[in-house]
Amino acid sequence: MKFNGIIIGVLLCCFFLGGCMNRLHTQTESVAADRLKEETKVVESRENGQYKRVTEVFIDDALFSRKTEVSVKDNGKFDLVHTTYFQGGKKTLFSTVDGNRRVVTHSYLLDDKVMMMECDENGDALFETIVLFDDKGNPATVFKRDKKGMVVPLCEEELSEWMEINWDELLE
C-alpha cells in the first residue's frame, strides 16, 4: 500500500512538472517571438562577367550575418562563398568556401582580430590545418590533424615551409 502511494505521488509530480515545463516552454517561445525581429536583405549584381549575391540577416536591427556568393563565370554555380557572423557589431566568425578547390576555411575573431583559423584542404570535412595567431595577426603556431583526428604542432622547419607556401594566400 505504501509503495502504491509513492508511485502515485511520483506520477503526480511528473504530471505537474511536465505541465509546468510545457507552460514555461510556451511562454518562452512567445516572449522570444515577440523580442526577436528577423529581417533579410538580398542584393544581386553583375559586373565583368561575374554574378554576386550578398545576403544580410538582421536580428532586432543588428547585423547577424553577411553571406557573399560569387559566380566567377555567371553560370549559376557559386565558386566562392564568404560568410561573416557578427555579435554586438563585431565579426566573430569568417567562413570561406572555395567550390573549385574544395577548400573550406573558418577564421575565429575576437575584437576584430583573427585568433584561430582552421582549414579543410580537400573537402573531406576534416579540418587538417589549425592556425593560432598572435596579437599582431601573424601565425604563431600551426597544427596538422591526421585522418585519425590526432593534432600535432608543426616543427620549426615545417612551420617555415608552411608560412612560405601559405602566408601570401592568407593575406588575400
The CATH code of the domain that includes 144 is: 3.90.930
Whether 158 and 104 map to the same domain: the answer is: yes
Whether 12 and 97 map to the same domain: the answer is: no
* CB half-sphere exposure, 35, CA atoms < 13 A: 6
Give the contacts of 165 (CB within 8 A, at least 6 positions apart). Answer: none
| Overall number of domains in the chain | 2
* Residue-range definition of the domain harbouring residue 151: 37-171
Whether 24 and 106 map to the same domain: the answer is: no
Whether 64 and 7 map to the same domain: the answer is: no
Whether 85 and 139 map to the same domain: the answer is: yes
How much is the pLDDT for 166? 77
Angle at 72 between CA 66 and CA 74, to 5 degrees: 95
Whether 104 and 145 map to the same domain: the answer is: yes
DSSP helix/strand/coil, 35 = helix
Structural contact between residues 133 and 140, judged by C-beta atoms closer than 8 angstroms: yes
Whether 98 and 127 map to the same domain: the answer is: yes
Q: Phi/psi zone of residue 77: left (φ > 0), alpha (ψ -120 to 50 degrees), beta?
A: beta
Whether 90 and 20 map to the same domain: the answer is: no
Quick one: cell of 53? 549575391
Whether 6 and 71 map to the same domain: the answer is: no
Whether 79 and 10 map to the same domain: the answer is: no
Q: What are phi and psi of 33, to 5 degrees?
A: -65, -35
Q: Which amino acid is at 108?
A: Y
Question: Over its length of 172 residues, how does the chain's per-residue pLDDT go in tens digits?
Answer: 444 454 454 444 445 445 544 554 554 454 455 568 999 999 999 999 999 999 999 999 999 999 999 999 999 899 999 999 999 989 999 999 998 888 899 999 998 899 999 999 888 888 999 999 998 888 889 999 887 889 999 988 988 888 888 776 655 5
Whether 69 and 26 map to the same domain: the answer is: no
Whether 55 and 27 map to the same domain: the answer is: no
How much is the pLDDT for 125? 85
How much is the pLDDT for 169? 62
